[in-house]
Amino acid sequence: MDPKQEIKYLETMLKKLDVEKAGFVASKKYNSLVSTFLAILILVLIYFFDISDFEMWFLIIGALVIGVVLGILSYWKLAEQQWPMLKLHINKESVKHRLDELKNT
């Protein structure tokens, strides 16, 4: 691994070790809120506007992309929920020592 990348990774890890609470993405309400909002938005667009075939395909492709993004966010959510259990097993002093080694070379 490139030393610059390793420094960036280790600094980010040290910052996250000090954070007690997981982010909003890890909350259980996030996907529900986003999915509900997007479903209502799509229904409003279909109901109130005269949509041509091209616009319908655009809407379908947009919904597909949004679904993929929500899937990625769900994966991220699970990773954030598991972080508090993993951070107990990370040796903070070892990470700091390695960071000092990289910065001094």
**Structure confidence by residue, pLDDT tens digits, 30-53:** 777 877 888 888 888 888 888 888
CA dihedral for 68, 69, 70, 74, sign (positive or negative): positive
Residue span of the structural domain in which 62 resides: 3-104
Contact 17, 85 (CB under 8 A): no
Q: Is the pLDDT of residue 89 over 80?
A: no
45-74 pLDDT, tens digit each: 888 888 888 888 888 888 888 888 888 877
Statement: residue 26 has pLDDT above 80: no
Q: What's the pTM value of the predicted model, to 2 decimals?
A: 0.53
How many structural domains is the chain composed of?
1
